[in-house]
Structure 1
Amino acid sequence: VDLFSRQIVGWSMDERMKSSLVIDALRMAWFQRHPQKSSGLLFHSERGSQYASFDFRHVLQGYGIVSSMSRRGNCWDNACSETVFGSLKVERLHGLRFKTRRAAKDEVINWLLWYNQERLHSTLHYVSPMQ
Structure 2
Amino acid sequence: MVLVGEVEVGRGSEFDNATLDEPFKVFGRTRPRSKMGCPFDSAVDESANKTLKAEFLCREQFASLRDLQLKLNDYVWWHNKERMHSTPGYMSPVEFRKAGLSL
RMSD over aligned Cα, in angstroms?
Answer: 3.1
**Structure with the greater alpha carbon radius of gyration:** 2
Structure 2: give runs of 5+ residues left out of the alignment: 1-21, 96-103
Q: Which runs of 5+ in 1 are unaligned?
A: 1-15, 20-48, 53-68
Percentage of matched positions with identical amino acids: 28
The alignment's TM-score, normalised by the length of structure 2, stands at 0.54
Bigger RCO (CA 8 Å, 6+ sep): 1
Shift of 1:129: 0.4
Partner SS for 2:56? helix
Determine which of 121, 126, 129 is the counterpart of 2:85.
121
Aligned residues: 71
Report 1:10-89 matches (<5 A): 18=24, 49-51=30-32, 69-71=34-36, 77-89=41-53
2:65 alignment partner AA: R
Q: Which residue does the alignment assign to 2:56? A: 92
CA distance in 2 between counterparts of 1:129 and 1:95 reads 23
